[in-house]
Amino acid sequence: MNNASEVFWEFSHLIALTNLTYYNESDGAGSVTLDVNCCSIVPDFTNYLESLPNDKAGLLAFLFLFSFATVFGNSLVILAVIRERYLHTATNYFVTSLAVADCLVGLVVMPFSALYEVLENTWFFGTDWCDIWRSLDVLFSTASILNLCVISLDRYWAITDPFSYPMKMTRRKAVALIAAVWICSSAISFPAILWWRAVREADMPPYKCTFTEHLGYLVFSSTISFYLPLLVMVFTYCRIYRAAAIQTRSLKLGTKQVLMASGELQLTLRIHRGGTTRERVPRLTAADQLQQQQQQDQLQPPPHQPLSSQQQTPLNSQHQQHTANSTPEDPDDEPLSALQNNGLAGRHRTHMGKNFSLSRKLAKFAKEKKAAKTLGIVMGVFIVCWLPFFVVNLLSGFCMHCIAHEEIVSAVVTWLGWINSSMNPVIYACWSRDFRR
């Protein structure tokens, strides 16, 4: 270099290539610009954070706090299921798997995304960790969505076939479904990223962390991760709501009839766990009523004389025969009948027992209906949070220039999807009585 030479470095927003301009004033040759790879020039990450404006620093702190809240809420759900034995059910195993996926979203995915977005899409952590981070993002987000899908199926099976559900949904089957969720999520994430790295024509620019925009992968991943689970969840929830409404309406109707018909002859109500049917016994004729009254008079003890066990036997046999003819399908499936028997001391106790059995059934179906409402809220939040992301995801594959301010829109819909991971434990804590304990 001559003594009149000058060197100017341009390093703005951590651009991958540094422009080196050399001016030679002695020979008038003009200037020459050289592109020098500056991968070895590592910026000071700490100084870069300290130089952030106040608004960006506040945004970064808010996103970190949001990530912490996601981890904290889902950790509480996991600890509750681990510590409380009454929560050790197949449904809560699925909820735990969902909480694990959401917790990992808040622990691994959100913090790095917050740094990347706030630092103007600048990636400080290398190409390898970029690919791993993207893979984990797809893995955990897909696992969260598929766990919601499995929970909806589990509730569908429980409320439409509650009698055989405990025998079908064993712990082994629940573990198999959870394993299938995570295997499917892994198949969508890691192999796809390896394929993308193999077919990528150019190296990823340093300080950038881009993701594949291949149309085939976007359609495939969006279909498996969102659109198919969405269809399953909508179908199951509609069936759940319909079944819960029918069962609850039938049970309420049956309760009203039993209470109004106490002391009358004609009503027999049979309540099945898997469905609800009503059977009416025809009204007895006058001759039948007279014959039954005579039988009851024979069974009446004399005044101030206790009823012996031998005298009780015909009535007990008659009651057992009547119960056998009704052929209940389960121990709780008892015929509820209001028999006119003014001379029997146990009449009121019998009605109390029948009403108590019916109350237990009403409580059971009320609990299932409550679970259906909770599932509906979970599904509604899921659609609101994730639908915009997958619409934008597909749209960017078909028409890259159709989205104005693509980076901003992409960041907004991505974080909206991750909000779902923080909302799930809030929904369960507020709506599930078991978790509120």
d(CA 349, CA 352): 5
Q: Could you tell me if residue 106 is inside a domain? A: yes
Residue 397, classified by CB atoms within 10 Å of its CB into exposed (0-12), middle (13-18) or buried (19+), is middle
Q: Could you tell me if residue 383 is inside a domain? A: yes
In the numeric block, which tokens belong to residue 259? 């209470």
Backbone angles phi, psi at 262, to 5 degrees: -65, 130
Q: What is the pLDDT of residue 51?
A: 78
Q: What is the pLDDT of residue 44?
A: 64
Q: Are residues 156 and 210 in the same domain?
A: yes
Residues 72-79: contacts with CB within 8 Å, 24+ apart? 73/422, 73/425, 73/426, 73/429, 74/99, 74/100, 74/102, 74/103, 74/106, 74/421, 74/424, 74/425, 75/99, 75/103, 76/425, 76/429, 77/425, 77/428, 77/429, 77/435, 78/103
Overall domain count for the chain:
2
Q: Are residues 18 and 150 in the same domain?
A: no
d(CA 131, CA 111): 16
CATH of the domain at 118: 1.20.1070.10
Please list the pLDDT of the chain residue by residue as tens digits (437 residues).
Answer: 444 333 333 333 444 344 444 444 444 454 444 444 444 444 566 777 777 888 889 999 999 999 999 999 999 999 999 998 888 989 899 999 999 999 999 999 999 999 998 988 889 888 889 889 999 999 999 999 999 999 989 988 988 888 888 898 999 999 999 999 999 999 988 887 787 777 776 677 778 888 877 888 889 889 999 999 999 999 998 888 787 777 767 766 655 444 344 444 343 344 444 444 444 444 444 455 555 555 455 444 444 444 444 444 444 444 444 444 444 444 444 433 433 444 444 445 555 555 556 566 566 666 666 666 777 787 789 999 999 999 998 888 888 777 888 888 999 999 999 999 999 888 876 677 777 66
Q: What is the pLDDT of residue 372?
A: 67
| Helix, coil or strand: residue 317 | helix
Q: Can you list the alpha helix ranges (DSSP code H) found in 169-214?
A: 171-199
* Model confidence, pTM: 0.67
Q: Are residues 13 and 67 in the same domain?
A: no
Structural domain range at position 116: 48-249+370-436
